[in-house]
Chain A
């Protein structure tokens, strides 16, 4: 069974970068696919990768991550300024970040118009889990 856990922005906005990373990695290591409102800063994303690398083990093979960010290309200057002001005062709550454990999520494919999450389909063998094929789980 796959569990998708939504993390609203208000749950992380008061946390430090370290606390955010710990919270997200904790959920992912519990085999949950996290759908987080908003996005991490780029520096926080690299800290997340760094921390992930430090914790890789035979049972935790890393993460798949993807951020969907609303395109501002077509927005007019007023909309862009409004978005900048909102993000300045309220944080990066725009968009959605998807993070899943690499043991369950094979790939998150993104192109300009859509995001597809491919989950590994696991069947329990005698002693170990065996990957049968890929299953598309989420299309955004």
Chain B
């Protein structure tokens, strides 16, 4: 009888009291390192990467998702549906891509795809259970795009964790980001080198609980 009760409890907990998957969106402006972070998390827990990365802005121009990423950290477990999104921008000029040795045709095509990517990112905002907002710690954080993204998430009551990425670079400053968004948790990492990733996982469990 006791065995049956345990089984019933486990069944109830599994289906009713725990969330099966947490949809974790990775948002931010272009070239902040969203895909590098997505790859880092994905590689840590599945052994494979999910997105391509590039120095050319708007490398991710479509939503990329990876299901069943099981994060096991300090005795806790979390199943993520990890969603890497195109960078959100207010302007896209195909001529900017010409600096990266693209032909005008390639640059125009990339710009066209990038505009669609921004629209997709915004549409997906409503689908998220929690969001990592990735900011380049070497850049001024007071951009309207950053404020709009975070403001939208708060308005939709979606939990937010701000990531100050590229902390390995000399000009990086987590203090500047903390000062700009004092009411949110900020974690400074280097996604490229894996610095401070453990703290990211600590806060990830807090944000998604």
Contact = CB atoms under 8 A, between A and B. Distances in A.
B9 interface: no
Contacts of A41: 155
A65 B91 CA distance: 10
B125 A102 contact: no
A112 interface: yes
A42 B140 contact: no
B93 A102 contact: yes
Contact of A66 (B116, B144, B154, B180): B144
Counting chain A residues whose Cβ lies within 8 A of the other chain, the interface size class is 20 to 34
A64 interface: yes
Interface in A42-90: 42-43, 45-46, 49-50, 52-54, 56, 58, 61-67
Interface in B97-115: 111, 115
Interface string A19-45: 000000000000000000000011101
B93 to A, nearest CB: 4
B183 to A, nearest CB: 11
A64 B90 contact: yes
Contacts of A62: 89-93
Interface stretch (B49-57, B69-77, B145-153, B191-199): B145-153
Interface majority SS (helix, strand, loop, mixed), chain B: helix
Contacts, number: 70
Nearest to A53: B115
A103 to B, nearest CB: 8
Nearest to A97: B144
Contact of A112 (B94, B119, B142): B142
Given A54-B115, A56-B111, A56-B115, A112 B90 contact: no
Which 10 pairs across A and B sit closest by C-beta, in order of nearness?
A: A62-B91, A42-B151, A102-B91, A53-B115, A110-B142, A61-B93, A45-B148, A42-B152, A53-B118, A65-B144
Interface of B: 88-94, 111, 115-116, 118-119, 122, 125, 140, 142-145, 147-148, 151-152, 154-155, 179-180
Given A102-B91, A102-B93, 9 more contacts: A49-B148, A50-B118, A52-B90, A61-B91, A61-B92, A62-B90, A62-B93, A110-B142, A112-B179
Interface of A: 41-43, 45-46, 49-50, 52-54, 56, 58, 61-67, 102, 108-112
